Amino acid sequence: MTSGNSDPSDDDLGARLRAARERVERETGPSTGRSGLPRTQTGLAFRVGVELAAGLVVGGGIGWLLDSWLHTMPAMTIVFFILGAAAGILNVYRTAMDINRAAGRGGNENGAAGNGAPKKGSDRGGRP
């Protein structure tokens, strides 16, 4: 590697890469980049499924390990499976809210979703 000397071909390559990225973004629209949000509906569906399955597997696994250790079969497995299901559903809800917020649909100052009703003083007719 060089110690700070910039090769003209490196500068040219960098400029070509920037131009290609700008062209792709103009053609396809802006991407989410590194925001952590899926770029496609398939990605979103896969993420939601994995979030839910991970909660179930981790909760059930912890319960099974505790049952093996405490000799309480199947009490801890059932309890932690239910807790894992709740955690998975909560993760799916958080993911949906993140996607909703990123899309610019809904949400208020504290991140909670609205109920769909117009705000006070702003009905559909535009009257205060």
Place of tokens 């809800």: 93
pLDDT digits (tens, 9 = 90+) for 20-64: 988 888 887 665 555 555 568 888 899 899 999 999 999 999 999
pLDDT digits (tens, 9 = 90+) for 55-93: 999 999 999 999 999 999 999 999 999 999 999 999 999
Asked if residue 27 is part of any domain, the answer here is: no
Asked if residue 90 is part of any domain, the answer here is: yes
Domain interval for residue 77: 38-105
Number of domains present in the structure of the chain: 1
Asked if residue 80 is part of any domain, the answer here is: yes
Asked if residue 96 is part of any domain, the answer here is: yes
Please give the average per-residue pLDDT across 92-103, as a whole number.
89
DSSP, collapsed to helix, strand or coil, labels residue 61 as helix
Give the model's pLDDT for residue 83: 98
Asked if residue 24 is part of any domain, the answer here is: no
Asked if residue 33 is part of any domain, the answer here is: no
Give the model's pLDDT for residue 93: 96
Asked if residue 88 is part of any domain, the answer here is: yes
Answer with the residue of higher pLDDT: 5 or 64: 64
Give Cα 86 distance to the centre of its chain. 17
Asked if residue 16 is part of any domain, the answer here is: no
Q: Report the alpha-carbon distance of residue 97 to residue 82 in Å, rounded.
A: 23
Q: Is residue 13 exposed (0-12), middle (13-18) or buried (19+ Cβ within 10 Å)? A: exposed
Q: Give the pTM.
A: 0.54
Residues 6 or more apart in contact with residue 56 via CB below 8 angstroms: 81, 84, 85, 88
